[in-house]
Structure 1
Amino acid sequence: MKHLVIYAHPHAESLNHSILETTVRTLKNNGHEVVVRDLYTLDFQPVLKPEDTASMKAGQIPQDIKTEQDYITEADVITLIYPIWWTGLPAILKGYIDRVFSYGFAYAYGEEGVVKMLTGKKGFIINTQGTPKPYYDESGMTEALKMTSDTGIFDFVGIESVGHLLFGGVGHLDEEAYKQMLKEVEDTVASHFS
């Protein structure tokens, strides 16, 4: 299978980066092709500008958007790896979704309602957050995060969500806890994509 991993974290020494490395290594060990789009390394421009929408309406997709859309088109599986900041996506990833998952590429509207244009693809998400996981679980925030990303992004465009890992308390745990998180990433990725 062809995997596209969209990664959004600014620090190479972060747990997110270790999660990225674990994910890529596990997929490659299982014989999958993997492309990583590190949005910070790419210096991806996240702001949807008036000239972007004007160009797309005229049938001329800006090159940076077209490049990302081509990667998505080629992928069988799209994995998002990012931290939860202020109960949502980092701005650079939110802007990626705004600009790349555009009308006419990822979705459209027809007589029956929303036309999901990325059907046949699978999606997987891995998140970290500083807030302890029990707080998010008990407050309903964990389910809300899954609803806004798994349903609000993936399902809206036809991508079938196959899993979502959320790791809490990051920055406040011991080394063993982080090792266990990476082991869970490895085991989960291997089980979904053997």
Structure 2
Amino acid sequence: MKHLVVIAHPNPDSFNHAIAKRLTAALQEKGHEVAIRDLYSIGFEAVLSMKDFEALRAGDIPSDIRTEQQFISDADVLTWIYPIWWTGLPAILKGYVDRVFAYGYAYKYGDGGNIEKLLIGKKGFTVNTHGTPKDIYDSIGMLGALQKTSDTGIFDFCGIETVGHLFFGSVPQVDDAEREGMLKQVEDEVERLF
């Protein structure tokens, strides 16, 4: 299978990058092909400008958007790795969705206003980190809300089947042994899912 790993954390020494490395190694060990798009290191422009908006409506896709769309088109599985900041996606990843998952590429309106999902056949997997303890997010319904936003509101909206979603809480407060346990969970999910 071909995997596209999209990572949205500015620090290359972050735990999110450690997750990406461990996930990539586990996939490659199983013979999968992996492409990585580190949105910060490639300098992805996150703001959907009026110029972009008009170009997309005219079918004149800007080259940076076309590049990212090609990575998605080539992939069987999209994996997103990102921290939860202010109960949502980092701005750079939200901008990636705004610009890359464009009308006519990821979805369109069909007869009667029905939504046609244009990325059917692809699978989606997400790994999130957050500083808040997981039991607090569980108790207030935040994890469910986060899943609804990304798994349903983005992936499913475009036809991508969500196959897994991991949440790792208290990441800045836990020790290396606990972080290693989290990385092992990532490897276990790769083994289970792919």
TM-score normalized by the length of structure 1: 0.98
Please tell me the residue identity of whatever aligns with 1:181. Answer: M
Alignment partners' CA distance in 2, 1:6 and 1:174: 26
For residues 58 and 153 of structure 2, what CA distance do their matches in structure 1 show?
Answer: 27
Q: Establish whether residue 147 from structure 1 lines up as the match of residue 143 from structure 2.
A: no
SS in 1 for 2:183: helix
State the Cα distance separating 1:58 from its structure 2 match: 1.5
- Tell me the equivalent position of 1:34: 34
The one-character-per-residue Cα deviations of 1:9-66 (angstroms, maximum 9, x if unpaired) are: 0111111011000010000000000000000000100000000011112111000000
Work out the CA distance in 2 between the residues paired with 1:122 and 1:175: 31
CA shift digits 1:144-179 (9 cap, x unpaired): 000000000000000000000000001111111101
Following the alignment from structure 1 to structure 2, what is the Cα–Cα distance between the partners of residues 162 and 57?
Answer: 32
Identity of aligned residues (%): 58
Q: Aligned partners of 1:104 and 1:161: how far apart in 2?
A: 21
Q: Distance in 1 between matches of 2:60 and 2:72?
A: 18
Query: Distance between the aligned counterparts of 2:180 and 2:57, measured in 1?
Result: 48
Task: Give 1:134's aligned amino acid.
Answer: D
Pairwise CA RMSD:
0.6
**Structure 2: 5+ residue stretches without partners:** none
Structure 1 position 188 matched with structure 2 position 189: yes
1:111 CA displacement: 1.5
**What is the distance in 2 between the residues matched to 1:144 and 1:58?**
35
The total of aligned residue pairs comes to: 193
Distance in 2 between residues matched to 1:141 and 1:155, nearest whole Å: 19
Alignment partner, residue 5 of structure 1: 5
TM-score, normalised via structure 2 length: 0.98
Q: Tell me the CA shift for residue 107 of structure 1.
A: 0.3
Gaps of 5+ in 1: none
Runs of 4+ in structure 1 displaced over 4 angstroms?
Answer: none
Residue identity opposite 2:156 in structure 1? D
